[in-house]
Amino acid sequence: MTLSELKDAVAELGMPLFTGAQIAKWLYQQHVRTIGEMTNISKSNRQKLEEYFTIGALSPLDSQVSLDGTIKYLFPTKGGKMVETVYIPEKSRFDEQSSGSHDRATLCVSCQVGCKMNCLFCQTGKQGWEGNLTVADILNQVYSLPERDRLTNIVFMGQGEPMDNLDAVLRATEILTADYGYGWSPRRITVSSVGVKGKLKRFLDESECHVAISMHSPIHEQRLQLMPAERQMTIKEVVSLLKQYDFTHQRRCSFEYICFAGLNDTMMHAREIVKLLEGLECRVNLIRFHEIPEVSLPGSDEKKMESLRDYLTAHGVFTTIRASRGQDILAACGLLSTAKKGEMI
């Protein structure tokens, strides 16, 4: 609940409005697990709250730890489904004598069970769509994370298409960034999308969080083969929309680009990317392809990816090669799926 909703809820129960602010602090700053822990609220009011409400925090059902320190958690949802969430710690680039305050820890959260977009290269898409997560389901991935207090960044790059569950994603990011909530800067949050007509514009208008677009090919026909969503909103339409917004200051725009050998990693593709992104302040993240069953796409080798990176950067498109994390536990990009985990509930 937002602060205004908490105030409305307590008012209906005959409590003073300031009780709503007290509850928000207990929830989003103290992260209590029970209403009984809200000790500055009278016992009688706590009992009344317990009659109508629960905290809703649900602990992970399972976890897997990668050799590189990445942890994949399996969270239950209110609807009896499950989603995967990935915690990615990164060591500081500073010396080991430092306080460690520069360490980075990113949480990759899910917004749907499965996904409707059915991108050819993504295991989540093979699962199909099993439902939207509620705001509570989304926030619980942060609320109940054992490493919650170490987080520096959140990316909506787990299971699902954020624009396909936009109301819940916007509400979740509001609570994450509000003074009464987690108090995060929106610059610590990145929301990804394949590009959904109408929804992407609404997100750009209503949120200040970073945006990351799944490109994977700058060419319409080829992107359509990889990503059926290209039919509904082309990559040219996505970029044209993005050019209407200011990304020259703190808000960032980036493009995700999985590299497939001989398919989208040629110099022709590099030139088309430069042409497509001309005039847009952005960056491109090149991603290694992680093989999934029954998909015969070949991944690009390191030399080819470096060549693509160097060409794009030399032509004004800042480009990096993203380090793969958690591949051994199927936590890397495009590998999340809960299709075969129903027996755990």
User: For the chain, what's the residue count?
Assistant: 345
Q: Determine how β-strand 189-193 pairs with β-strand 82-90.
A: unpaired
Q: Which residue of the set 84, 130, 161, 230 is catalytic?
A: 84
84 is catalytic: yes
DSSP 254-275: EEEEEEBTTTT-SHHHHHHHHH
Distance spanning both ends of the chain, measured CA to CA: 26
Pairing between strand 283-288 and 318-321?
A: parallel
β-partners of residue 213 are 193, 255
Can you tell me the distance from the alpha carbon of 324 to that of 337, in angstroms, rounded to the nearest whole number?
17
Catalytic (active site) residue 333: yes
User: How far apart, in whole angstroms, are the C-alpha atoms of residue 121 and residue 99?
Assistant: 40
CB atoms closer than 10 angstroms to residue 266: 15
Q: Of 5, 278, 333, 343, which is the active-site residue?
A: 333
CA pair distance 1, 52, nearest whole angstrom: 14
CA–CA distance, 333 with 326 (Å, rounded to integer): 9
75/81 Cα distance (integer angstroms): 9
Residues acting as catalytic residues: 84, 333
